[in-house]
């Protein structure tokens, strides 16, 4: 068996934009959608319902479907409880985040459940949270876009505890649509080709106690487990399996498989525009902020928006002296695990004027809470609960609504300018992390630059120029992935560009910069964008991939979403930017990263303690802060191998097989032990084969040195 030992260099807004899409045409499920967003996500319209001027009437909402629809073949789950229940048999039981006889309503239990989320490391940069279910299942939060996270949490909780739930929208033909526990329907019956959930899919909820006690295996639905979000190419769930998609995640979360199938539809067609709709949510006061609430950024009536879920709140004091520390988490597009933001970043989200400030109040952003489905006069109606009236701000109170971002400025704990800089630098890094996975994303490029604009503003308060901010925070990748004009750049449509391609693009630029540096000059980074060349616009990067033997990692351009800019396209257009040019960046004592390569192929002597040594000569003055290593060795039994990196008498063991000959892949391998060593001089990579028979080669290796 030929095995591979490799150490490789590794390195948000959520949108529902109006797109030039399907118009009033029906999609595959018979849903009349008015176009798709920039990521191909179809979105239903807001209902157009406006809250009446009277606060009591506004709180009652507008009547929906009759309750007898619950008995139809379209139903998803049975309603047994009411959100206000505190003293029923079901309400008195212990639950996933509350003790027996808690006295909490189900709405308060939803808050307690979200508040119980454990913060964990995320797949990629930053942190996310762990989902705990009533059936003893724990899973890292799923990969979703921002509005989908909020809807998923609410639907999951309602279905587990047999609570009523529905959301309302309007299709491109103006028909009122209802997505809820009773299925997906209009007042006249089933909508389009939506499933009859009760008849089509299984509900294993009767096994709940046995599963929790370990007396029954978790039932699975292979069909559900093989499903993706309709139309999605970015809903991979690597936290549960290499090839798992959203259906596989839902199969592990829901005993009632109907809920999994239903959620695939609900998440596909609903976005921030529907969460901003007063028929589905209501506005609440800043002082009543609690886990489970949603914070919406809206800057136009239709189209693009961003949704964050409040996952943690700590309050101190009361009245005018009240202080609060909060945390939000959000998905994005392309889809990602929800990112748990720190307190400083969260404050920036709440105080952003797009969160319902005076210039944006008409777009229905700000802090929201789900209305509660209740039976009124024989009809399901989404209402503001009676015990929430003091926290509720009706849509007619425009002044109170628009004051909320400013109130959060005083309410949320204050940071000094350096802390604010660090918090905003974290937002920059979030956008970079997204680009490392999706290097063609124009949204992530814009998010990064928007964060930099805030960095410039904070820097100005501290007496720092834009150039000084750039010198402190700009990285090479910011220049390589410069912002593009969306409507004039076909790169923005390319969702299938991936992390391997990001690494190739960065490596190509490293080689250019290193060559220029050895010649005593500086080269401008080569921006990743489409060019007027003999191919599809990306020949320079594709050719590099082929030259380094990684041509199979390059994915050809494709219009993975609605892409009118490709028609008559010549080359991508960069946005205007006012950063300091790369070659004018001064380090001022900040560490710089240098990369060095050796691709000479060397045979590894079989069963020879002398081994083989490959060297890299470094001509950079300064001391080492950190070392990352790329290494490629092919060998028929890597359990024979011992690998060391050596410099100036420091020997650090990189790999010691001393075990079975399984494949070994090490990613982002940081080599500790060389801190403070002089960077300049000869670095040695020493490889020894300790056993007979199996043989191999040292193919190539690279050093990435952070030097002070």
The arithmetic mean of pLDDT across residues 205-222, rounded, is: 94
Specify whether the CB–CB gap between 315 and 299 falls below 8 A.
no
User: From CA 19, how far away is CA 27, in angstroms rounded?
Assistant: 15
Could you give the C-alpha distances from 647 to 233, 594, 611, 630, 676, in angstroms and in order? 46, 16, 17, 16, 11
Close Cβ partners of 329 (under 8 Å, ≥ 6 residues apart): 128, 129, 141, 149, 308, 309, 311, 338, 339, 340, 341
Is it the case that residue 12 has pLDDT exceeding 60? no
pLDDT confidence of residue 37: 53
The arithmetic mean of pLDDT across residues 595-616, rounded, is: 88
Q: Which element (helix H / strand E) includes 656? A: strand 650-656
451-497 pLDDT per residue, tens: 898 889 888 888 999 998 998 899 999 999 999 998 899 999 898 89
Half-sphere exposure of 261 (CA within 13 A, CB side): 24
pLDDT confidence of residue 36: 53
81-109 burial: b if 16+ Cβ within 10 Å, else e: bbbebeeeeebeeebbbbeeebebbbbbb
pTM over 0.75: no
Residue 286 tokens read as 């800043």
Share of the chain above pLDDT 90, in %: 55
Gap between the terminal Cα atoms of the chain: 43
User: From CA 448, how far away is CA 438, in angstroms rounded?
Assistant: 14
- Strands 281-284 and 294-298, by their bridges, are unpaired
Three-state SS at 563: coil
478-490 burial: b if 16+ Cβ within 10 Å, else e: bbbbbbbebeebb
Laid out side by side, the sheet with 176-180 consists of 166-170, 176-180, 183-186, 189-190
Specify whether the CB–CB gap between 194 and 265 falls below 8 A.
yes
pLDDT confidence of residue 110: 97
Q: Which element (helix H / strand E) includes 140? A: strand 138-140
User: From CA 352, how far away is CA 355, in angstroms rounded?
Assistant: 6
Is it the case that residue 7 has pLDDT exceeding 70? no
The arithmetic mean of pLDDT across residues 407-411, rounded, is: 93
The arithmetic mean of pLDDT across residues 53-71, rounded, is: 92
Domain definitions of the chain by residue range: 55-410, 417-584, 591-707
Residue 160 tokens read as 């587990």
Is it the case that residue 19 has pLDDT exceeding 80? no
Specify whether the CB–CB gap between 297 and 366 falls below 8 A.
no
312-371 pLDDT per residue, tens: 998 876 677 788 889 999 998 788 899 999 888 899 899 999 999 999 999 999 999 999
Residue 310 tokens read as 């409040």
User: From CA 133, how far away is CA 130, in angstroms rounded?
Assistant: 10
Q: Which element (helix H / strand E) includes 330? A: strand 323-330
Residue for token digits 């003893």? 136
643-695 pLDDT per residue, tens: 899 999 899 988 887 544 444 444 457 888 898 899 999 999 999 988 888 78
pLDDT confidence of residue 531: 93
Higher pLDDT, 568 or 179: 179
Beta bridge partners of 138: 132
The arithmetic mean of pLDDT across residues 127-146, rounded, is: 94
Is it the case that residue 698 has pLDDT exceeding 90? no
- For the chain, the average pLDDT equals 87
| Weakest mean pLDDT among 458-467, 504-513, 536-545, 656-665 | 656-665
Beta strands in 222-361 (DSSP E): 281-284, 294-298, 305-316, 323-330, 339-340
User: From CA 587, how far away is CA 385, in angstroms rounded?
Assistant: 57
User: From CA 635, how far away is CA 696, in angstroms rounded?
Assistant: 4
517-534 pLDDT per residue, tens: 767 778 899 999 999 888
Per-residue confidence band for 309, with pLDDT thresholds at 50, 70 and 90 = very high
CATH topology of domain 591-707: Jelly Rolls (2.60.120)
User: From CA 381, how far away is CA 67, in angstroms rounded?
Assistant: 10
Residue 488 tokens read as 């004039």
Is it the case that residue 577 has pLDDT exceeding 50? yes
User: How long is the chain?
Assistant: 708
pLDDT confidence of residue 41: 61
Q: Which element (helix H / strand E) includes 593? A: strand 592-598
Specify whether the CB–CB gap between 366 and 356 falls below 8 A.
yes
The arithmetic mean of pLDDT across residues 23-44, rounded, is: 59
Q: Rounded to an integer, what is the distance from CA 594 to the centroid of its chain? A: 30
Is it the case that residue 216 has pLDDT exceeding 90? yes
- Phi, psi torsion values for 592, nearest 5 degrees: -120, 145
| Weakest mean pLDDT among 78-92, 139-153, 277-291, 457-471 | 457-471
Is it the case that residue 284 has pLDDT exceeding 90? yes
Could you give the C-alpha distances from 313 to 111, 412, 569, 607, 650, in angstroms and in order? 11, 10, 49, 61, 48
The arithmetic mean of pLDDT across residues 503-513, rounded, is: 91
Specify whether the CB–CB gap between 465 and 473 falls below 8 A.
no
- Phi, psi torsion values for 705, nearest 5 degrees: -105, 130
- Write the DSSP symbol of residue 171: -
């Amino acid at each position: 068996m030929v095995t591979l030992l490799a150490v490789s260099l590794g390195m948000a807004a959520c949108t529902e934009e109006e797109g030039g899409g399907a118009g009033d045409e029906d999609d595959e499920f018979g849903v009349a959608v008015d176009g798709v967003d920039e990521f191909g996500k179809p979105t239903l319209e807001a209902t157009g319902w406006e809250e009446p001027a009277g606060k009591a009437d506004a709180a009652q909402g507008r009547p929906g479907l009759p309750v007898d629809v619950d008995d139809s073949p379209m139903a998803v789950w049975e309603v047994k409880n009411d959100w206000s229940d505190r003293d029923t048999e079901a309400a008195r039981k212990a639950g996933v985040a509350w003790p027996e006889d808690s006295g909490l309503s189900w709405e308060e239990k939803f808050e307690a459940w979200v508040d119980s989320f454990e913060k964990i490391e995320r797949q990629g940069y930053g942190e996310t949270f762990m989902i705990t279910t009533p059936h003893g299942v724990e899973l890292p939060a799923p990969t979703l876009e921002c509005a989908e996270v909020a809807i998923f949490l609410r639907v999951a909780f309602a279905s587990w505890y047999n609570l009523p739930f529905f959301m309302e929208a309007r299709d491109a033909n103006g028909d009122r649509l209802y997505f809820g526990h009773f299925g997906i329907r209009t007042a006249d019956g089933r909508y389009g080709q939506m499933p009859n959930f009760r008849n089509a899919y299984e509900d294993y909820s009767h096994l709940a106690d046995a599963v929790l006690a370990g007396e029954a295996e978790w039932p699975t639905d292979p069909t559900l487990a093989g499903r993706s979000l309709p139309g999605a190419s970015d809903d991979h769930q690597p936290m549960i399996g290499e090839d798992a998609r959203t259906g596989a995640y839902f199969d592990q979360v829901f005993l009632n498989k109907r809920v999994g199938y239903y959620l695939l539809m609900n998440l596909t067609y609903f976005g921030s525009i529907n969460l901003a709709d007063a028929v589905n949510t209501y506005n609440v006061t800043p002082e009543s902020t609690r886990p489970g609430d949603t914070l919406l950024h809206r800057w136009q009536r239709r189209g693009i928006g961003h949704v964050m879920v409040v996952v943690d709140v700590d309050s101190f004091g009361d009245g005018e002296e009240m202080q609060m520390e909060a945390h939000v988490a959000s998905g994005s597009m392309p889809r990602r695990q929800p990112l748990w933001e720190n307190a400083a970043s969260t404050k920036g989200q709440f105080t952003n004027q797009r969160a319902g400030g005076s210039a944006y109040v008409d777009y229905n952003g700000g802090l929201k809470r789900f209305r509660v489905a209740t039976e009124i006069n024989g009809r399901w109606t989404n209402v503001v609960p009676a015990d929430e009236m003091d926290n509720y701000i009706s849509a007619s109170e425009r002044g109170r609504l628009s004051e909320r971002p400013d109130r959060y400025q005083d309410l949320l704990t204050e940071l000094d300018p350096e802390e604010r800089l660090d918090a905003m630098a974290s937002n920059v890094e979030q956008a970079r992390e997204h680009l490392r996975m999706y290097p063609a994303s124009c949204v992530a490029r814009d998010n990064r630059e928007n964060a930099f604009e805030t960095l410039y503003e904070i820097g100005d308060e501290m007496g720092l120029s834009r150039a000084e901010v750039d010198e402190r925070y700009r990285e090479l990748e910011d220049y390589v992935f410069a912002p593009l004009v969306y409507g004039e750049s076909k790169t923005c449509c390319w969702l299938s560009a991936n992390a391997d391609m990001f690494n190739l693009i960065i490596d190509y630029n490293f080689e250019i910069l290193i060559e220029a540096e050895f010649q005593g000059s500086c080269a401008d980074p080569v921006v990743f964008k489409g060019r007027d060349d003999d191919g599809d616009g990306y020949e320079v990067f594709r050719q590099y991939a082929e030259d380094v033997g990684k041509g199979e990692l390059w994915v050809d351009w494709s219009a993975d979403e609605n892409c009118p800019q490709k028609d008559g396209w010549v080359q991508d257009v960069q946005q205007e930017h006012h950063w300091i040019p790369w070659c004018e960046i001064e380090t001022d004592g900040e560490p710089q990263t240098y990369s060095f390569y050796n691709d000479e192929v060397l045979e590894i002597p079989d069963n020879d303690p002398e081994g083989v040594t490959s060297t890299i000569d470094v001509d950079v003055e300064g001391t080492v802060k950190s070392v990352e290593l790329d290494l490629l060795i092919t060998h028929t039994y890597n359990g024979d191998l011992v690998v060391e990196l050596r410099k100036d008498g420091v020997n650090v063991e990189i790999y010691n097989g001393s075990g079975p000959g399984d494949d070994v892949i090490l990613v982002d391998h940081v080599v500790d032990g060389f801190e403070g060593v002089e960077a300049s001089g000869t670095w040695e990579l020493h490889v020894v084969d300790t056993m007979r028979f199996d043989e191999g080669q040292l193919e190539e290796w690279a050093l990435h040195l952070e030097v002070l």
